[in-house]
Structure 1
């Protein structure tokens, strides 16, 4: 049997390594410092980020992929996936806080009771903000109070998730 990978498999591997390299180029310097890679690869990525010419960027991406073929890309891919998962969780938390804010602003006290029950706690700061919200307020003050409510919900949800109550 022939254990040599097919040409298509090699192309798929090369494409996945190149897309991983492009994803690494999108990361900040702080995020890159936490990635499991050698210093030469990190320096190459930082140098690649400084290139502004489109054709030079394209060539540099291909060179980065070539260098990465010799590196351990499985650990890098796992680290990038973990970073993306954290972003997805933050995005979900943000949308959840938006939905709660919309419900609390429109429904008031009944929604607050549901929020307290869902997150296993009492939220007096949120209750005070909702009490301050009145239908006949000027639009600018209402928007500002709505933002404060959102921030408080976001903090409360994050704390509840840390305790895994919500």
Structure 2
């Protein structure tokens, strides 16, 4: 039973990050078509991309944990906290002991926030110049969004079922 819940949570987590990546890509496309960003990123497009990413993570977390089949065993609040904690610890171990190619893979959405915090909106030649503590801030914010909004979605789901 716990293996099924773990797999279900991981699939939802991956789907959350995929939805957030799509939302950020769609925003980038809209900004390119409307000619807001013609020759590269502006401060407005960078900040709107960061805000869009974390809003999409939050909204996807809420709705993916609020929706669900009735015959499916719902998550408890403690299970979600446990799963997010395990993901956070795994991310931190990989972040501070892994290679940059691995960090790039799992911190892709948080890189824009880390870049903006490190450079203040300026130009950065390589993402390898960013200290990993800035990536830690971005990943921690991402996991906090998942934890808080998945808990809200679960509470909304249980109140609707009563």
Question: TM-score per shorter chain, which class?
Answer: under 0.3
TM-score by length of 1: 0.27
Looking at both structures, which has the greater relative contact order when contacts are Cα pairs under 8 Å and sequence separation is at least 6? 2
TM-score by length of 2: 0.28
